[in-house]
Amino acid sequence: MSNPQTLLSAPCRRWQDILSLQDLEPLARQHLPAPVFGYIASAADSGQAMRSNALAFEQFDLLTRVLRDVSQVSTETQLLGQTFRAPIGIAPVGLSALSAYRGDLVLAQAASAHGLPMIMSGSSLIAMEEVARQSPQTWFQAYLPGQMEQVQALIERVKHAGFSTLVITVDTQAQPKLEFARRSGFSAPLRPSVGLAMQGLLHPRWLLGTFLRTIVKHGMPHFENNYAHRGAAIVAKNVTRDFSERGRNDWKRLQAIRDMWPGRLVIKGILHPDDAQLACAHGADGLIVSNHGGRQLDSAPSPLRMLPHVVKQAGKVPVMLDGGIRRGTDVVKALALGAQLVFVGRPCIYAAALGGAPAVALALQLLRDEMTRAMAMMGTNHVHEISPDCLLHPHAAWAPGARHPLAANE
């Protein structure tokens, strides 16, 4: 196994402290201004959904098998006609270029260097065309605007930019209450104030290395990709972004998009098995089981809990998952319950903020190394050998062939 620390020659002062994805958040909290950190770390309402995302993984143990030759463990996987070095990708994260210099480009570059997928957010501050030019295998995620003509124009733009996989996020029917973000002083756009300026001055590495560097080299960032045209600036007085029409989207609209979009179509934000069935019936090529990292409906079930039920309804359509993935063992548990690939959100953007592409590469490498170790200790050499039989519910008595009810997949 390669030593991830050797991948780095980068500016984070405390690389040796980063031994797992969980080490990134406290470092990012120190590095970023409070409103920017608050935006990333925030969850809806009381944070129940975000907590249950993490806790769900603790409901399962992994069974070891010994004295099998595991000298050739491979995490390689195939999905949607592509081969990836591991079933791990980077989830779409809005405003990446506010926390990390050229955030979307950095994330796309690290993923592509690692042979992994990255989904570029539609709520981003770098034009999609630039990311597609630099990393053409990147997937693009869109939020659907309210009017059908706007949807059509946006899809034409995505097509023209050269993306071949379009991810439609469907779980943002209403604006969530991100209370921690609000209390930290975050708004989108950010409103200029003495408090905001003070936060910049208190975080000089971010101020000089990300914010001022962006403004000097590229001008004030704007929302570039929510529509076919440019949107509001990220720092602006008296501008309110309009989300009011997102609730108008329905299955009929998804069908119209399917008819317009010739590439691979992935639906993100599925939790209910009946919605999984509908998405497949409307031509989805892939599904992402997700509760938006606990940032939409607080009390939404964890994606891991719903995963086997969604997989059952999805039939041959591949199912992916995000939410709470922090360890290689989490990846293995999701795979055992039927996911073909998992995406990671917050830790990747923390890494990008702390040290650009090399830090994102470190995060991805740590996760892949942990996954490789887990597979070896479980006696599995290939991703396709990971099955519900590898899982044990901590409270369940074990018997040969016994499975946790959620693992029942037939």
Ligand X SMILES: Cc1cc2nc3c(=O)[nH]c(=O)nc-3n(C[C@H](O)[C@H](O)[C@H](O)COP(=O)(O)O)c2cc1C
Compute the half-sphere exposure of residue 3: CA atoms within 13 Å on the CB side of its CA: 5
Please identify which of the residues 31, 292, 309, 404 carries the catalytic annotation. Answer: 292
Q: Cα separation of 329 and 319, whole Å?
A: 18
| Beta carbons of 168 and 279 less than 8 angstroms apart | no
Q: Is 124 annotated as a binding residue?
A: no
- Verify whether residue 218 is a known catalytic residue: no
DSSP string, 205-220: HHIIIIIIHHHHHH-S
* Cβ closest to ligand X, residue 93 vs residue 297: 93
Positions in 119-158 near ligand X (CB under 6 A): 121, 123, 141
Residue 397: alpha-carbon gap to chain centroid: 35
- From the list 33, 308, 324, 356, which residue makes contact with ligand X (rule: CB under 6 A)? 324
Nearer to ligand X, 117 or 324 (CB): 324
328 contacts ligand X (rule: CB under 6 A): no
**319-322: strand order across its sheet:** 88-90, 341-344, 319-322, 286-289, 264-270, 165-169, 139-142, 119-120
* DSSP annotation string for 235-265: B-SS-----TTGGG--HHHHHHHHHH--SEE
How far is Cα 174 from Cα 312, in angstroms, rounded to an integer?
Answer: 28
Closest to 209 measured CA to CA, from 125, 103, 320: 103
For the bound state, the minimum distance from the C-beta of residue 381 to ligand X, rounded and expressed in Å, comes to 27
Range 169-208, binding ligand X (CB under 6 A): 169
**Nearest distance in Å: CB 329, ligand X:** 15
Residue from the set 45, 104, 298, 322 that interacts with ligand X by CB under 6 A: 322
**Which residues from 266-285 bind ligand X, rule CB under 6 A?**
268
177: tokens are 């209450």
CB distance 75 to 86 below 8 Å: yes
Name the one range near ligand X by CB under 6 A: 152-160, 186-194, 320-328, 354-362.
Answer: 320-328
Q: What distance in Å separates the CA atoms of residue 38 and residue 33, rounded to the nearest whole number?
A: 8
Q: Which two tokens stand for residue 14?
A: 């405390």
Nearer CB in complex with ligand X: 95/280:
95
Contact indicator for 306, 329 with CB cutoff of 8 Å: no
Q: Does 345 bind ligand X (CB under 6 A)?
A: yes
List 346, 353, 364, 365, residue binding ligand X (CB under 6 A)? 346
Q: Which is nearer to ligand X, 27 or 378 (CB)?
A: 27
Q: Is 303 in the site for ligand X (CB under 6 A)?
A: no
Are 257 and 151 within 8 A, CB to CB?
yes
Least CB distance to ligand X at residue 372 (A): 20
Asked if residue 323 binds ligand X (CB under 6 A), the reply is: yes
Least distance CB 325 / ligand X (angstroms): 6
- For residue 8, the surrounding DSSP H or E stretch is none
Annotated binding site for FMN: 92-94, 121, 141, 169, 268, 290, 322-326, 345-346
- Give the residue numbers marked as catalytic: 292
Annotated binding site for glyoxylate: 39, 143, 292, 295
Q: Which residues bind ligand X (CB under 6 A)?
A: 39-40, 53, 91-94, 121, 123, 141, 169, 268, 290, 292-293, 295, 322-325, 344-346
